[in-house]
Amino acid sequence: MDFRHGAGRAGVTGQDTPGGLLVHGMGKDPVEPDWLPLTEDEAGAVLARYGEPGTGPDGERAEITWWSPRPMSAAALVRGTATRVFVKRHDLRVRTAAQLAAEHAFAAHLRGRGLTVPAVRRTLAGATTVTSGHVVYEVHEVAAGVDLYRDSVSWSPFGSLGHARAAGTVLARLHLAAGGFEHPARPPAVLISSCDVITAADPLARVAELLRQRPGLAGYLSRRPWASDLARHVLPLIGRAGPLVRGLPRQWGHGDWHPSNLTWTSRAPDAGVVAVFDFGLANQTYAVHDLAVAIERSAVAWLDLADSGHAGVDLPAVDALLDGYHAVRPLAAAEAAALPEVLPVAHVEYALSEVEYFASVLRSPELADLAYDSYLLDHARWFASPAGEVLLAHLRQRASRAS
């Protein structure tokens, strides 16, 4: 395999990559990929490590049938000579084999507890990943069901209230199934979410400690008034959330609950969820944090914020998601009270890790600025807007009924 880095792009060179492939960007418009797409020769070489013959008896070889438009790795559906799988490549600065092993262990635990999660393939040597040069690969079975939202960008809404309710139901099942998974929390890293800052007794001191551990993030934040920005826009929100969350039991969650990470029984508005995938942001947090992320990912029109300065909220979808969740795992009164306070800061630590990704991995100051200003700060500020206040008041009213 021939690996080369390009200016602003990295990945595998090859002659069979798709011309003009675009991926999701930070806004509504598609952009050129930062990681070169998987090639068929590359996919075949990877699958050989998993026991898949590189060439079939009639000369056929691995064929890529679809390239994923998700931007922070390179992935594709691959039809091998004897199988059909999903192959994903990560730069080692983004994911290591050890980090992926934690994701795979959680997925296996959930599958063992009855949740439908695509199995992770093992190599002939028994590993769940293949490392080659500066990249690492993982290979998954293809998720059953209809991949209805596979082209939807982050923060896209549910297509129907039925979908929102079904997603809430399965998230509750996931949280119940996660019980007994005792793997320690994943440490801070690029594109990793956690709750360490929002539950810290001194959040600014926790961020300062994080900067000592993450030089890429520290280099970027050294040029920004991060302490005063957080003190002004984020710390008051953490001050309300932290005391409520710290008393709740910690547990692993999905970390990125969005309709595009689910497959569906059909394209109908009343379709149910078949399978759950993409555990790249899974970590030990709190069930209420995972639920807040689910609301943040799909119920607020964040992509309108940059264009108009306003973002609407879909309250019926919020209710459908929470009603579906409550039907399987009713929130305890303390969780219901914490939810509206956690929601405005559920994004904070992932936003910081995204700043680090753009600043130190992609080396794009413009995208790092966008992640810092528009994601980290503007999303927190939005909750003081009329629409944000309506959403929080609605959740507080629901909590009062649960107490």
User: Structure pTM?
Assistant: 0.94
Strand partners, 61: 55
What is the average pLDDT across 363-373? 96
Check residue 5 and give its pLDDT: 31
403 pLDDT tier (thresholds 50, 70, 90): low
d(CA 48, CA 44): 6
**May I ask the CATH class of domain 161-402?**
alpha beta
Check residue 13 and give its pLDDT: 36
d(CA 403, CA 401): 6
Check residue 369 and give its pLDDT: 97
The CATH number assigned to the domain with range 3-141 reads 3.30.200.20
Residue in 316, 336, 309 with CA at minimum distance from that of residue 398: 336
How much of the chain exceeds pLDDT 90, in percent? Answer: 85
3-state SS string for the chain: CCEEEECCEEEECCCCCCCCCCECCCCCCCECCCECCCCHHHHHHHHHHCCCCCECCCCCECEEEEECCCCCCEEEEEECCCCEEEEEEEECCCCCHHHHHHHHHHHHHHHHCCCCCCCECCCCCCCCEEEECCEEEEEEECCCCECCCCCCCCCCCCCCHHHHHHHHHHHHHHHHHCCCCCCCCCCCCCCCCCCCCCCCCCHHHHHHHHHHHCHHHHHHHCCCCHHHHHHHHCHHHHHHHHHHHHCCCEEEECCCCCHHHEEECCCCCCCCEEEECCCCCCEEEEHHHHHHHHHHHHCECHHHHHHHCCCCECHHHHHHHHHHHHHHCCCCHHHHHHHHHHHHHCCHHHHHHHHHHHHHHCCCHHHHHHHHHHHHHHHHHHCCCHHHHHHHHHHHHHHHHHC
d(CA 367, CA 373): 10
Query: In the block, which residue shows the tokens 């991060």?
Result: 226
d(CA 84, CA 297): 30
195 pLDDT tier (thresholds 50, 70, 90): very high
d(CA 60, CA 227): 58
Burial readout 263-284 (b: 16 or more C-beta within 10 A, e: otherwise): bbeeeeeebbbbbbbbbbbbbb
d(CA 286, CA 175): 9
What is the average pLDDT across 316-337? 98
- Report the range of poorest mean pLDDT among 18-27, 40-49, 193-202, 329-338: 18-27
Report whether pLDDT(21) > 70: yes
d(CA 354, CA 163): 28
Output 120 or 31, whichever has higher pLDDT: 120
In the chain, list all ranges with CATH 3.90.1200.10: 161-402
In this predicted model, what pLDDT tens digit does every residue of 111-120 receive, in sequence order? 999 999 999 9
Check residue 18 and give its pLDDT: 63
Q: Which stretch, 16-25, 54-63, 359-368, has highest mean pLDDT?
A: 359-368
CB 53: neighbour CB atoms within 10 A? 15
Mean pLDDT of the chain: 92
In the chain, list all ranges with CATH 3.30.200.20: 3-141
Check residue 55 and give its pLDDT: 64
In this predicted model, what pLDDT tens digit does every residue of 257-300 receive, in sequence order? 999 999 999 999 999 999 999 999 999 999 999 999 999 999 99
Report whether pLDDT(341) > 60: yes
28 pLDDT tier (thresholds 50, 70, 90): confident
CA 347 to chain centre: 11
Q: How far apart, in Å, are the Cα atoms of 259 and each of 55, 83, 138, 271?
A: 36, 26, 22, 12
Q: Residue 396: exposed, middle, or buried by beta-carbon count in 10 A (0-12, 13-18, 19+)? A: middle
CB 344: neighbour CB atoms within 10 A? 27
8: left (phi over 0), alpha (psi -120 to 50) or beta: left
- Report the range of poorest mean pLDDT among 58-72, 198-212, 258-272, 273-287: 58-72
- The angle subtended at Cα 195 by Cα 191 and Cα 198, nearest 5°, is 120
Joined tokens for residue 76: 């594709």
